[in-house]
């Protein structure tokens, strides 16, 4: 997030805050899960369902691109259980 401040012409202090876009929030909230899930099939399937839901939303073009990138990341992840032997 970006914060900056100034004093207006009447001497009052003002602050502006740049908030994250929806796509940036999705990226921020899923990056660590993808990185540290350890390939857990339940986590991967949940992320794939999440991506599918997000792709059905009516979003700004920049947010849609972020969602498409996330969906591409999780689309082909392996969800097969492995034998622990």
Tens digits of residue pLDDT in 30-42: 999 999 988 899 9
Q: For residues 51 and 73, give the distance between their C-alpha atoms in angstroms, rounded to a whole number.
A: 10
First to last CA, the chain: 46
Which helix (H) or strand (E) covers residue 61, if one does?
A: helix 61-75
Of residues 37 and 81, more confidence is placed in: 37
Please state the pTM of the whole predicted model: 0.71
Per-residue tokens: 36: 């540290």
């Amino acid at each position: 997030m970006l914060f900056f401040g100034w004093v207006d012409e009447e001497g009052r202090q003002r602050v502006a805050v740049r908030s994250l876009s929806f796509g940036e929030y999705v990226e921020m909230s899923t990056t660590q899960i993808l990185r540290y899930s350890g390939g857990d099939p339940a986590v991967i399937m949940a992320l794939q369902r999440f991506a599918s839901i997000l792709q059905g939303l009516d979003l700004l073009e920049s947010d849609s691109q972020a969602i498409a990138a996330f969906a591409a990341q999780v689309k082909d992840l392996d969800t097969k259980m492995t034998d622990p032997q």
